[in-house]
């Protein structure tokens, strides 16, 4: 029984992803978005613990790794795509794009494809043992869920439209697979010298929680920005 515990946790992640997809398609809006991100977040918690439990019990297996990726595709790829699909049905369309109103929502699933590609690259990339190359799929899913829930009124207003949504979605598709080094929150020690970027990230997260439903979106943006600035922040290390 012990060897099945991590896979059971992974399946809980998968189930949460499926529920998130179902919730995204329900009405009324934006209640459906709220429950979708709740189950994406629950899936992220299960995703965090399955590997930890496998290592603690000493029962890591190849099938567990494959199952984990399949669950992540649903929870962190298909579920946020379903939320964006529904948002495409609500946003404003410029007059010249009205004929595409029935087609544009389906472009949301481009993100699911890029999420799958990101996970496949992660599984075979030996460079990502202590950091990330490209935006992790859980971070991407939490960003979109938080943005849609927290900024729903703005996203469906006349200040935003389907063009902006499509371009913004493509930007994050690019970030998923880009050769962009992103730091991981793993502390080998607690010294400021070795963890400047991580401590700055944690401090910067505090005011983000004031944004309530949009906090995860703000935190992910701060994470990406700080990763871009990290080489400059740590440039003095070699000379210390």
Q: Alpha-carbon distance 230 to 234, whole Å?
A: 6
pLDDT value, residue 240: 47
Which sign does the torsion angle of CA 206, 211, 215, 218 carry? negative
Dist CA 69 CA 67 (whole Å): 5
Question: What is the end-to-end Cα distance of the chain in Å, rounded?
Answer: 51
Question: Running along the chain, 240 residues long, what does each successive block of 10 average in pLDDT?
Answer: 85 96 83 92 92 81 85 96 95 94 96 95 76 90 95 93 96 93 79 83 91 90 90 62
- Assign residue 134 a region (left: φ > 0; alpha: ψ between -120 and 50; beta: otherwise): left
Return d(Cα 147, Cα 151) in angstroms, integer: 6
145 in a structural domain: yes
pLDDT of residue 129: 65
Instruction: Tell me the C-alpha distance between 227 and 139, whole Å.
Output: 13
Domain span at residue 23? 2-182
CB distance 41 to 88 below 8 Å: no
Domain for residue 239, yes or no? no
| CATH number of the domain enclosing 157 | 1.20.120.1760
Is 210 a domain residue? no
Q: Identify whether 196 is part of a domain.
A: no
Domain-located, residue 124:
yes
Q: Which two tokens stand for residue 18?
A: 């499926």
Split into its structural domains, the chain has a count of 1
Task: Report the alpha-carbon distance of residue 184 to residue 125 in Å, rounded.
Answer: 15
In a domain, 15, yes or no: yes
Q: Is residue 24 part of a domain?
A: yes
Give the number of other Cβ atoms within 10 Å of residue 110's Cβ: 15
Q: Is 59 a domain residue?
A: yes
pTM, two decimals, is 0.88
Q: What confidence score (pLDDT) does residue 127 get? A: 75
The pLDDT of residue 74 is 97
Q: What is the 3-state secondary structure (H, E, C) of the chain?
A: CHHHHHHHHHHHHHHHHHHHHHHHCCCCCCHHHHHHHHHHHHHHHHHHHHHHHHHHHCCCCHHHHHHHHHHHHHHHHHHHHHHHHHHHHHCCCCHHHHHHCCCHHHHHHHHHHHHHHHHHHHHHCHHHCCEEECCCHHHHHHHHHHHHHHCHHHHCCCCCCHHHHHHHHHHHHHHHHCCCEEECCCCCCCCCCCCHHHHHHHHHHHHHHHHHHHHHHHHHHHHHHHHHHHHHHCCCHHHC
> 156-178: b or e for each residue (b if 16 or more CB lie within 10 Å)?
beeebbbeebbeebeebbebbbe
DSSP lists the bridge partners of residue 132 as 182
């Amino acid at each position: 029984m012990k060897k099945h515990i991590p896979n059971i946790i992974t399946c809980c992640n998968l189930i949460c992803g499926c529920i998130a997809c179902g919730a995204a398609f329900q009405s009324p809006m934006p209640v459906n978005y709220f429950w979708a991100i709740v189950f994406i977040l629950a899936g992220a918690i299960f995703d965090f613990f399955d590997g930890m439990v496998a290592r603690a019990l000493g029962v890591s297996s190849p099938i567990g790794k494959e199952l984990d990726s399949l669950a992540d595709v649903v929870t962190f790829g298909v579920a946020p795509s379903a939320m964006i699909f529904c948002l495409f049905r609500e946003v404003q369309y410029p007059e010249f794009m009205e004929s595409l109103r029935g087609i544009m929502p389906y472009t949301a699933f481009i993100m699911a494809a890029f999420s799958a590609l990101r996970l496949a690259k992660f599984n075979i990339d030996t460079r990502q043992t202590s950091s990330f190359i490209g935006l992790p799929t859980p971070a991407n899913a939490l960003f979109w869920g938080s943005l849609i829930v927290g900024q729903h009124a703005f996203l469906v207003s006349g200040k935003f439209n389907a063009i902006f949504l499509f371009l913004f979605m493509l930007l994050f598709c690019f970030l998923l697979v880009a050769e962009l080094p992103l730091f991981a929150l793993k502390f080998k020690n607690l010294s400021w010298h070795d963890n400047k970027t991580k401590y700055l990230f944690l401090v910067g997260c505090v005011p983000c929680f004031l944004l309530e439903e949009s906090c995860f979106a703000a935190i992910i943006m701060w994470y990406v920005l700080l990763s871009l600035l990290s080489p400059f922040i740590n440039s003095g290390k070699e000379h210390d």
